[in-house]
Amino acid sequence: MRRTKKERQQMLKETIKENPFITDEDLAEKFQVSVQTIRLDRLELSIPELRERIKYVAEKKFEDEVRSLPLEEVIGEIIDIELDQSAISIFDVREEHVFIRNKIARGHHVFAQANSLAVAVINDELALTAKANIQFKRSVKQGERVIAKAKVLKIDDGLGRTIVEVTSYVNNELVFKGEFEMYRSEKSLKDEKR
């Protein structure tokens, strides 16, 4: 069933509102039109491309919140964060992240996304990874989007350590799981106790 341009554009706005992480390619498939048509629709509706939407929201929301490292040092793009509680980032696997022969992502990129998210969620000016227990559940391929979710499990002020669990998904399929023991600076812990 062909939709009119007006109907398609209305559905496009609703779809992006429901799922702001949806790609132009996924939208094109959903509406059975070309990627170029989706891009033209977005342009007419003044909807920026996905990367710009996420970047804008992240910069405005998180530039004053993340203390442990600058946003540009996070691997992937943070889209939600509550310091010392939880955080979410997305990472699009591109050609420069994969092995040439099989288009599988190099593991250090998936690990780096999870590790940098574990650092970013710490409400401290200094956060370092003391120990990590990680599992790669399946290979990630070029063109896939990895959504990493960090959750603070425990804060031990006595030891200056925080335990952060990070799970990473591609289309709701678990691809990576890690538990990170993060070192926090003693200075900030003393400041918090005052």
190: pLDDT confidence band, cut at 50, 70 and 90?
Answer: very low
- Domain map (residue ranges) of the chain: 5-47, 54-193
- Residue type for 28, please? A
What does the alpha-carbon distance between residue 108 and residue 39 come to, in Å, rounded to a whole number? Answer: 32
Is 18's pLDDT higher than 70? Answer: yes
CB neighbours (10 Å) of residue 77?
20
Question: Which of 16-25, 56-65, 120-129, 176-185 is predicted least confidently?
Answer: 56-65
Average pLDDT for the chain: 85
Is 10's pLDDT higher than 80? Answer: yes
What is the second-level CATH architecture of the domain 54-193? Answer: Roll (3.10)
User: What is the model's pLDDT at position 54?
Assistant: 65
CATH topology of domain 5-47: Arc Repressor Mutant, subunit A (1.10.10)
19: pLDDT confidence band, cut at 50, 70 and 90?
Answer: confident
- What are residue 138's phi and psi, to 5 degrees? -160, 160
Is 21 in contact with 54 (CB distance < 8 Å)?
A: yes
Q: What is the pLDDT of residues 20-46, one digit of tens each?
A: 778 888 899 999 999 999 999 998 988
Give every CB contact of residue 172 below 8 A, 6+ residues apart in sequence: none
User: Any long-range contacts for 151-157 (C-beta under 8 Å, 24+ apart)?
Assistant: 151/85, 151/86, 152/84, 152/85, 152/86, 152/121, 153/179, 155/84, 157/189, 157/192, 157/193
Q: What is the pLDDT of residues 68-125, one digit of tens each?
A: 556 667 788 888 888 899 999 999 999 999 999 999 999 999 999 999 999 988 888 8
189: pLDDT confidence band, cut at 50, 70 and 90?
Answer: very low
pTM, full prediction: 0.66
